[in-house]
């Protein structure tokens, strides 16, 4: 049996050195509800194609890690309420169980990098949890050990952003600000946390990645793109919702891998339209930026 199944389109694109952008699927199984999850995945894929690159949705299809899920597979997985959330430690377990799985930033990065994809677009990465510094997402150690470019809108302030940045610094992950000096906080363009480097365009990111590779550093690169200004949700509006969602998780004793999906689902329920539009806007924007970077690397 194949360890990682690669779709024909992606296999050919990689063979020919065409620009490919990976997309995660925990967003599909645990981030958005059906059918909004299908719609946002299609919009991201289209944004990537419009910018001249090829989208590769990564996930676990009936137990098989797959790079390049078809539209029909995405549709099925999106509607499957029994689909599991798959991070790194779950990767070796799903094969036995033959289930569908949505891969997190960590698991998606590993699978994509293994088959030769170099750029990955997502919304927000996991990190160190607010009030629970012992709860660190596997996204962070994977970023520190997987040479891949992850494009995101920073991280939600459901996380402890200063501690998350400290971790990335300790483990040598460069955090680049896309046309900004500040670490973006998902719904907000700013967080008050300064980054070391601002990049202006895709060529700039590609040059840094090439240097990182030529030095044979084990880390990936994190490119943080602020949400488009028109869709930003003011911090005063989001903060009380986040505080409430985090407090509910604590009160209900939610732990482990269930915490992030729990808080994300509560955020959606507490603020439906307002944050959903912002979330979609930044995802499509990140997909577009990632496609530009993939093209700069392929050039
Ligand atoms: N943060 C978000 N949206 C998300 C996630 C995080 O704002 O969808 C998802 C991503 O798939 C991320 C995962 O990789 O949650 C992190 O989960 P954990 O904290 O259990 O590692
Ligand atoms: Mn955790």
Cβ(111)–Cβ(58) below 8 Å: yes
Cβ(100)–Cβ(57) below 8 Å: no
**Sequence-distant (≥ 6) Cβ neighbours of residue 275 within 8 angstroms:** 187, 233, 238, 241, 267, 268
Distance 15 CA to ligand 1 centre (A): 31
- SS3 assignment, position 129: strand
Which of 30, 41, 86, 104 gets mutated to test ligand 1 (max ligand atoms within 8 A of its CB)?
Answer: 104
- SS3 assignment, position 24: coil
* Low-confidence residues of the chain: pLDDT under 70: 1
Total Cβ atoms within 10 A of residue 158 = 26
> How many domains does one find in the chain?
1
Q: Of ligand 1's atoms, which has the minimum distance to the CA of residue 126?
A: 16
Predicted TM-score of the model (pTM): 0.97
Distance 188 CA to ligand 2 centre (A): 23
Mean pLDDT of the chain: 95
Question: Catalytic site residues?
Answer: 24, 156
Distance 81 CA to ligand 2 centre (A): 21
Cβ(204)–Cβ(182) below 8 Å: no
Alpha-carbon 162 to chain mean position:
19
Residue-range definition of the domain harbouring residue 252: 5-298
Q: What is the CATH number of the domain that holds 156?
A: 3.40.1790.10
The response to whether residue 101 sits with its C-beta less than 6 Å from ligand 1 reads no
pLDDT, tens only, 135-193: 999 999 999 999 999 999 999 989 999 999 999 999 999 999 999 999 999 999 999 99
Quick one: DSSP state of residue 174?
-
- SS3 assignment, position 93: helix
pLDDT of res. 234: 85
């Amino acid at each position: 049996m194949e360890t990682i199944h690669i779709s024909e389109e992606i296999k050919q694109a990689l063979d020919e050195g065409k620009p490919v952008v990976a997309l995660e699927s925990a967003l599909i199984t645990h981030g958005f509800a059906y059918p909004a999850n299908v719609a946002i995945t299609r919009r991201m894929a289209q944004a990537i194609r419009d910018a001249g690159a090829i989208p590769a949705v990564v996930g676990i299809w009936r137990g098989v890690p797959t790079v390049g899920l078809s539209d029909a597979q995405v549709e099925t997985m999106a509607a499957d309420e029994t689909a599991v959330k798959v991070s790194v430690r779950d990767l070796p377990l799903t094969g036995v169980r033959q289930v569908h799985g949505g891969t997190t930033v960590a698991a998606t990065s590993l699978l994509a990098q293994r088959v030769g994809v170099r750029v990955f677009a997502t919304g927000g990465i996991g990190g160190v949890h607010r009030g629970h510094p012992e709860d660190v997402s596997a996204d962070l150690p994977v970023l520190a050990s997987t040479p891949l470019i992850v494009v995101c809108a920073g991280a939600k302030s459901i996380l402890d952003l200063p501690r998350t940045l400290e971790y990335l610094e300790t483990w040598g992950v460069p955090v680049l600000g896309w046309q900004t000096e500040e670490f973006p906080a998902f719904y907000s363009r700013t967080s008050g946390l300064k980054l070391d480097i601002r990049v202006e365009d895709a060529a700039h990111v590609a040059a840094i990645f090439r240097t990182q590779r030529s030095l044979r550093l084990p880390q990936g690169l994190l490119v943080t793109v602020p949400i488009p200004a028109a869709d930003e949700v003011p911090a005063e509006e989001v903060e009380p919702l986040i505080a409430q969602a985090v407090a509910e998780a604590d009160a209900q004793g939610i732990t482990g891998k269930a915490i992030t999906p729990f808080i994300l689902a509560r955020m959606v329920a507490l603020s439906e339209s307002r944050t959903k539009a912002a979330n979609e806007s930044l995802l499509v924007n990140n997909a577009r930026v990632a496609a530009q970077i993939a093209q700069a690397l392929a050039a």
